[in-house]
Each structure stands twice: as C-alpha cells, then as structure tokens.
Chains A and B, each alone.
Chain A
Amino acid sequence: MKIPEKRGLSTKLLGTVIVVIVIIVIAVVITTMGGGGTTTTTPTSAISPTTTPSQTFTTSTHVTTSPPPVLSGSLTVLASSGDPTLAPFLNMVASDFMAKYPGVKVQVQLVPFAQLVTTALTALKSQNPVPDVIIYYPSQAPTLGPYLVDVRKYLDSGVFNKSDIPFSTMLPVYLLDSKGNIVKIAGVPMQQVFGYVLVYQKHIFENQTLQAEFKSKYGFDFDPLKWTTWDQLIKAAEFIQSKQITKYALLFPDGLQQSIFNGYVGIFYSYAINDPCTEVPPNSVQGYWTYFKEVNGKVIPTLNCTAGIQALETYKKLVQFQPPIDVQAMEYDQLRDLFLTGDYAMGAAWTSFIPVYNNKNVSKVANDLGIAPLPAGATGQAPTFAGINPYSNNVDLAANFIAFMISPNEYKKGAETIGFVPATYSGLNIASQVPQTAWVAPFVKLIASQQVADLKRMAIVNNIQNFFTDLKPVFIQEVANYLRGKQTAEQTVNNIVSKWITLMKFSSS
C-alpha cells in the first residue's frame, strides 16, 4: 500500500472538527443524563411490574408453605467490615441458606466501612446487577436509598413479616415526598444497634460501700439501670470523680465530625417532649426531625425553644468529666478506644462496641461491662439495613434471603453463637433470653414505646437538601464554640437557627 503524500487540513478545519467532536460528546452525555429536567432512570422505574427483570423465583406472594419452594441462582451480599458480629452472622446465614436451598450460591463480600457508599453507589448508578443485597447504615440511607428496591411489596405480601418489625426501626429507610407521603421503603432492618447507651464498669456500681454512701448522700440508687434523669447521671459522675475511683468519671461524645450531632439529638429529645414550643409528642421516635416544625407554611427550626437551651446546658455538664475538645475530641474512635483502657467509669457508646469492650485481648474492661439506656429516653436506634439492588438478576431471591436472615431461627442462632443483636420484636425477645445478649431486655421496652411519627413533619428534614452538608457543620461549629466557653447557650442556639434559616435549601421533589 502506498503512503499518501503529505497533505493536510487547514487549522481552521481541524478546529471545526474538534468542536464537532466535543458537541457530539456533550450530546451523548446529556442524552445519558436525560437532560432538560426530565428524570434519569430511577430505581422506582426499575421495580415497576413492566420492567422488573425476569426472576428465577416467582412465588413471592406466597408465605412459605411446605414443601419449600425450589430456589436457584446466585447472590452477592455487600457489607462493610469491622463490626465483629455482622460478617460472621452474614456468613452463617449464607451457609444455612445454601444448605436449605442447594441450588443457591451466596457470597458475602466485605469492603471498608468508609468506602461502602463508593462501591455500592457506583454499582447502582451504573445499573450493575451485582451486588444483589447491600447491607448499609442509617447515615448511608439518604445516599443509597433512592437507588434501592421499594420493599413495600414484600412487606405487604408477607415475605417480610411487617408486624414483627418495629415501626421506629424502619424510619430511616422511609423515603418521603415533600408532603410526607411514603414514596419508597428502601430496605428492612436486620441488625439493631442502640446508641448512645450507657456502658459502665460493673464492679464500681456493685460495690456496696459506694452504694450505701451514694444513696445516703443523694437519695437515689447507685445503679445506672434505675436512673431516669440527666441530673442523676451527672451526680453519679460527680461522686465518682470526687472519689477518684477512676481517672475520669464519664466519657461522653463531643467529636467534631459526627458525635456532637449524634450526642445532642437524644438530649434535645428528652427535653423536647416536655416543651410545648417544640411540638414533639411524647412516645414519638427521636430524630433530627425534631429540629424543625412548620408554622403557617413556613419551616422554622425548634432549637431555640427552651428545650434546646436546656439540652445544651446539660450537654456541657456531661462532657466536663473528660479532657476538653482542644486536647481530644471524643469521636467514634475515642469512644471505642478510651473506654477500653479502664480509665473511665462510665461512657456513652454504641452497642456495636460491646463485643470490642468484652474482648479481653484488647480491653481492660472485658467481662465487667454493664449496659443501660441513657436517662430520659435519650437512647436512639441506628439499625443496620438490608437493601436490594433493583438491577439484580434475582430480586425475589434476594428478598427471600433477607426474609430468611431475619427469621427467628437465624436470629436465635446468631444471638447464641455470635452475640448478634436482632432487629425484629421476636428476635429481640429471643436475644434477651440468651446470656450473651440479655442486656437488650430494657431496650425492647424502649422500642415498643416509640410509636408515634408525624410523617409530614419528618419529611421536612428529608427535603432539606443540604441538611448534612451545610446545616450539620454549622451546628457542630457553634456547639463546639459553646463547649469551649466562647459563647452562651442562648447565643449558640440563636446563631444556629439564624444561619439555618439562611442556608436551608429544599429539594425539588
């Protein structure tokens, strides 16, 4: 073949060619995004009956009857590592499911906690069929939820036993429109995590001399399981600190990334239910929704009600027993690590830390751990959820796997062999009778008591687009300044409220 002689295009023409190529690329991109305000392909469309991929299992409307249906297919379950009971439980369930249904293959894949969203979101946005099941946390629900299957059909058909799932536990996966209507339920809870709870070194509170002295001085029992007010907790901490029983009396979250935000909401709730200004009903589920209410069609924060100020003042008293935040802010890592050292008599912690606290290879408080709810109903829930990938080739099979996972039998086995904490009523009742997990008993009553939820009001915070990206940082910075003594509680709440009103950005949905 002969090489053509050197002849070229003019620069102008070359430039035109490049511009045309770029325009074509832009057009492709816009077409992919569905531009001009039209919606992209959303998971909701993916789960409509006309677009659901063909299933290997089609009897999803039937409750399991004997003989068991024949299932086949493969599932990949994506979860994050680190929780010492989660991965073993998932592997146990996978093994049992495969034993029951030999035609099914289940693989559990672990990724780092901080990167679960990266891995899962990339797969979901790209409509990849794998992973089939995603195990995620409440903080990840707003990001992943929009892309997961709406499980209402499985709740309504009985695949998931609706009556066995606490209403309050499900709320993080309710996707609501601006009017409070449920648009989607993006998963079911499969593991319960309570936070914060009060952990303590049992031997201190079982000391009869201290018990007698304390009762005589303060008039109530030296028993965390019996405290009902913040004042009682603070007085106990003062007592322990004055006697220097441990180096520090109380470890309370004041970490500047998340813990201040998580720590405050429970304290605020405990005051809000008694403050008419906040309009938070008793027996309601606590949460960030309590920070807002609607007045004459306008959304206003409630933090500057008396409850907000009281909560801040109590918060400051609770963190006085530990090093100040300019030495060490108590974030997730510190709540886990510092209580292990035995230097703290009490601490506020997530129940997911309990296996770590009881691990004698790393903990100086192992086998001496007491667990109690925080006073005044401040303990909340942060369950782990199981969601289904709408692009999975085995959506119904995935649902059946999840149903199997949250069945009483599997939960009983999980609690007995691993110390896994179930998420359902029946599971929690079973767990409360297993020695390893008997500590859940007082928390079961807590869950059962939280029944009220004004979904329209809950939709407010859901629809504030920048609640976590802008409003949360403002809150944390202002509260940190208060804890440093730079401003009063009133100034703090007023600053927060005025900045929030300026910054709130509402979703277009």
Chain B
Amino acid sequence: MDYPNEILIILAWGSLLKIDKYIFLFSFPALVYLFSFTIYPIVSNFILSLYTQDVLGRLHWTGLGNYLWFNKDPFLSQIIINTLLYMFLTPIIDIILAIPLAIALKRLGSKWLFIIMLPSFIPPVTAAVMWYLMLNPFFGLAYYVLRWNWASSIWTVILVNVWRTLPITVLIIYSGLKSISKEVEAAASVDGLTGPKKFFMIDLPLIAPQVLTAFILMMITGLFTFDPIYIGTSQAGPRVLDNLAYYSFDQFYSGDPGYAAALIVLMSILSTFFSILYIKLLNMKRFVKLPVPKFIPSKNTPLIVHRIILILYMIFILLPMIWVLNISFKTPLEIISIPPTIFPEKVTISNYQMIFNDGLSYIITSTSIALINTLITLLLIAPLSYSMAMHKFGGAKLLIYILYTNATPTLIYIIPLFSFLRYLNVINTWWALILTYPIMTIPVTTWIMYNYYVKFPKQIEEAAEVDGLNRLKVFYKMVLPLSKGGLSVAAIYAFLYSWGALIFPLAFTYSPYNLNKPLSFSGAQTFSIFIGLLMSPVTMSYGGVAASGIISSIPPLILLYLGRNNLEKIWSSGGV
C-alpha cells in the first residue's frame, strides 16, 4: 500500500524500536504531544528546585538546600499530614458512604444516578464557593444551625472534597455491582445468601477492583485539593489547611520558586508511589474472601431503608446547590442581611443579566475552547489508549508516566510553555489554549479509555484480522465505532477539565474575546477568569458569583445528561 512519506517515517521508527508499526503509528501523535509538552517542564522544575531566588529576582545555586530546608520548615510536617489526610480520608469516606448508596441504586433503579452525579460536574471553585456561602455564620444557612467558623476546619475541606467526589465513587461501585454476572447471583441465591451477608461474602470481593480504582482516583483528587483551601485560609489561618499543592503554589508566588519546585518534586514522588502501588495491586488477581461476622443478616434489606438512604444523600448533594441558586436570585442588600432570608423576598434576575451582558465573550471562549479541546483530546487518546490496553504498548511504565503527569500541578508548565507560545506569537489568542489544554486532559482521558479498552472484546479485533483487515482498518472501522460509549465518557471529562481550567488562561491570556473581530480569535480570557473578576476583595459580588456558579454548571451537566447511560459502562469492570 502507498503511504505518505511522513507516515512511512513513523512506521520506520516503529520498526526500529521493535514495535508493531501500526500500534506505533496510533500512539505517535499523542506521545509526541505528551512528551514534548511535559518532559521539559518536569525536568525544568527539578532543576529549579536546586536554585534559590534572592529579593532582586536572581537565581543562585543552592544544590540540595531547598530539600534540606524540609527539615527546618516549621509547617511542612503539618502540611504533609494535611496532604495525607486529604489523600486518604477523602476516598475512605467516599467508599464508606458510596457502598450503601450504590446498593440502594441497584435495588431502586439507576434513574436517580443523574441527580447524584451533579456535584462531580460542577467546577471545583464553584463547589467551594457554594459550600462556604452556605456555611457562612452570618449570611448562610449555618446561621440557623450552628454559628461557628466552619471555614477554619480541615474537616470542611474534606467535606467539600467528599461532596464533589462521592458521586463518581458511587458510580464506579454501582457499575461494579451491576456487572456481577447473573450466574453468580443465582448461585448465591441457591446457597441462601442474600442481603448484607451476600454483599460481604460475594459482592465486595468481586468489586474489589472498582473499589481500588475509586480509591486511587479520589486519592489523586484529594492530593490536588486547592479551592476549598484557597477560600478557607482567611478564616483558618496560614498553613492550617495547606496541603503540598497549595503550599507550593503559595511559595512560588511569594518569591521562592526554588522551594516551590522542591515541594512539587516531593508531591510527585508521593503520587508516583501510590500510582505504582495501584498498578501492582490491580495485577494481583486474587479473589479475597473476607471473614463475615455471624450477626450480619442474610436477608434482603427492606426497600424503605434504601429509600431513606437515597433521600439523605439527595439532601446532602442538593442542599448547597439549592442555597446558591437561592442567592443568585437575591438583591445585593438581601444577600448580606442578617439573619439571612431562606427564600428571596424580592426575586431579581439582575445577577444573570449581568453575567450575560458582561460575561458573554468569556462564555463563548470557554465553550468553544472546551469543545475544540475535547475533540483534539479524543483524536489523540483513542488510538493511544487502544494500543496501551489491547496491545500492551508502553507497558506499566507508560501507564505510570501518564498517571504521573496527571498528578503534576499545571503550575510547572506555565513558564516553559509561555516562551513557546510567545515564539509562535499566539499569546492571548484561542490558539494558546488549544495548544496547551490537552496537557490537562490527555492523562485522565487516556486512563478512562484505557480502562474501557481493557474490557473490550479481543474477538472483534481477531475476527477482523482474520478477514484480512490490517490493524489500522480494524481500529477505525471496527473498534472505534463500537467505542462510542467510552468516548462519550472521555469527552465529558475532557470538557469538564477544559471548562473549569484557570491556571493556563491566567498565564496565557489577558483580555476577553474580541467580538468585534471574531475571526482574529484574539482575546481568550475564559469564564473561570470572569468568575474570578467577580470575586474581588473590594467589590465581591455574591449574587454574581452565585449566578455564574449556576451557569458554569450548565454545560457540563448537559454533557452529563447526554452521556449518562455510558457512565456506568466505563467502570463496569476495571483492571489491567
């Protein structure tokens, strides 16, 4: 067959490296992007950690000085403890709460899943603001419950984390429960095992991979806790809530980038360690039978119990959103009235009018960039994840590298990438974001599709090859059309990450989209920046922030609605 020269060169490289040429071809674009955009910043960050900056902005070699300061830093031990607390308590609480809800959903039906999923599709800063508005002891619902400084506690940070991550945990565990085969269910029934006893003896060991997957994914989310800390620090005090992610950010912008870089190296080591542990645990395909106490009953839990559990979860999930929706329809004077009104006395839509009048160009930019990046991400990761899952391309090492990049803060990329974008003369244009956003979305979507393709029936591929199709055609004509379910979920996550992105737009843009010259694509400030503009310390617009929070939730929720049926399939049986 005749191929263009460029393709032949790629194929030749694949041959040189003893890799199937088509698999290499599939993976090449994503790998080139990933390595070119990540290796330099990662290495650069490590080098920076060996320097210290003086008050005049000059860097001085300090060797391991920043790492030695770990020993003297009066806050680091507490910060590491906080980091571990966020990393472990978030998934542990998630799993403990998710299991009864997942069981309830299995009994009552999955039609409630869409509502339960809502918090996971709300941008992190919006979620943090929702909770802190509700917990404000003067203007919030907490006025009527307990007038205490909720924002000063790490438990509030964990609460916000759990609120956001619980839905995904429920989904993963529910998917696992749903995928238990009918034969196993029937056999358990014949043995007289039902209810909680069956769950502990049969179901839980079978869904151990899903539990582990949920644990690791939520652990990584916990590692990167940022927005609740950012908002809560003014009440808690300095360093009380900090984790490594926030501390490194603060150090970087307080004029100590070398120490910030060292902290990021420490954070990356932690996350890599747990990523490797996860891979090893998933490889241990052992059916673990747990000892079950005799008092655990072997009869079905009454439906009313499941309904009560569902109602309680609904309250937990919907209450902050309802409160913020409430605020978005209040006048500024009513928002700061003490005691706070439960329902608006005078309903106003002025907050929403302000958003659409002043924020339209930001909304257009965010929506467009998110959609474009979603498309680019899918084009890159679909073939890569197929190669990794179906043909073991890159092995565990590539998987770990991808998980590692998922766990590195975007902070380390902005200076190296800015120079590159400036060279291309695309600063403050849509192109700057289009070129850089995949760094954020490729790792997590590769992971999602990897999990999807691991379960993909190999027989389809084998049958197509027997029919004479080469790997290229097998993928594009057979595998890809059948991957719509997985791709729709990957698309949701890619959109979500792109929609809520903040660091890259802050670094690479400085004006909103010029609606007078739409085809220039100049001006690329996003809706997340617009929300930040409303959160000024001098003129904080609570109503505007609430309204923009509601609006910022709509596009991801639309995608969630469209892809809801595929969400459970992606997690239905995880594993390498």
Contacts and interface: CB of A to CB of B under 8 A. Distances in A.
Contacts of A470: 73-75
A142 B255 contact: yes
A43 B57 contact: yes
B510 interface: yes
Given A122-B414, A327-B149, A332-B537, A508 B137 contact: no
Given A7-B16, A39-B58, A122 B137 contact: no
Contacts of B58: 39-40, 42, 146, 509
Given A22-B43, A256-B235, A327-B137, A3 B15 contact: yes
Contact of A29 (B47, B72, B234): B47
Interface in B331-346: 331-333, 336-338
Residue with the greatest number of chain A CB neighbours at <10 A, chosen from B12, B233, B539: B539
B43 A362 contact: no
Contacts of A109: 510-511
B536 A6 contact: no
A76 interface: yes
B229 to A, nearest CB: 11
A113 B55 contact: no
Interface string A1-18: 101111111000010000
A499 interface: yes
Contact of A469 (B11, B251, B419): B251
Given A22-B43, A44-B56, A463-B55, A362 B537 contact: no
A442 B223 CA distance: 51
A179 to B, nearest CB: 13
Indicate the size class of the contact surface on chain A.
35 or more
B144 to A, nearest CB: 15
A466 B256 CA distance: 8
Nearest to B2: A1
B61 A37 contact: yes
Interface stretch (B156-164, B379-387, B527-535): B527-535
- Chain A interface mostly: mixed
A128 interface: yes
Given A44-B56, A111-B506, A131-B510, A122 B536 contact: no
A136 B256 CA distance: 19
Interface residues of B, number: 84
Contacts of A436: none
Nearest to B42: A25
Contacts of A25: 39-40, 43
Given A329-B149, A329-B152, A333-B537, A468 B55 contact: no
A257 B51 CA distance: 28
A509 B16 contact: no
A343 B339 CA distance: 11
B418 A123 contact: yes
A83 B506 contact: no
B107 interface: no
Nearest to B4: A1
A322 B152 CA distance: 17
Interface in A476-509: 476-477, 480, 499, 502-503, 505, 507-509
B537 A29 contact: no
Contacts of A113: 536-538
B95 interface: no
Given A8-B18, A76-B510, A507-B55, A1 B5 contact: yes
B535 A114 contact: yes
A338 interface: yes
Nearest to B235: A329
Contact of A503 (B59, B74, B234, B333): B74
A176 B58 CA distance: 14
Given A84-B538, A463-B55, A509-B54, A469 B250 contact: yes
Given A119-B506, A364-B333, A499-B74, A325 B149 contact: yes
Given A3-B11, A114-B532, A328 B47 contact: no
B138 interface: yes
B43 A78 contact: no
B235 A331 contact: yes
Contacts of B418: 122-123, 125-126, 128
Interface string A80-113: 1111100000000000000000000001011111
A131 B510 CA distance: 9
A376 to B, nearest CB: 27
A412 interface: no
Interface string B138-150: 1100000001110
By Cβ-Cβ distance, the 5 closest A-B pairs, closest first, are: A82-B536, A146-B57, A8-B18, A112-B532, A473-B238
16 contacts: A1-B5, A6-B15, A8-B18, A37-B61, A39-B58, A40-B58, A42-B57, A78-B510, A109-B511, A111-B525, A126-B418, A328-B138, A333-B540, A337-B139, A462-B55, A507-B54
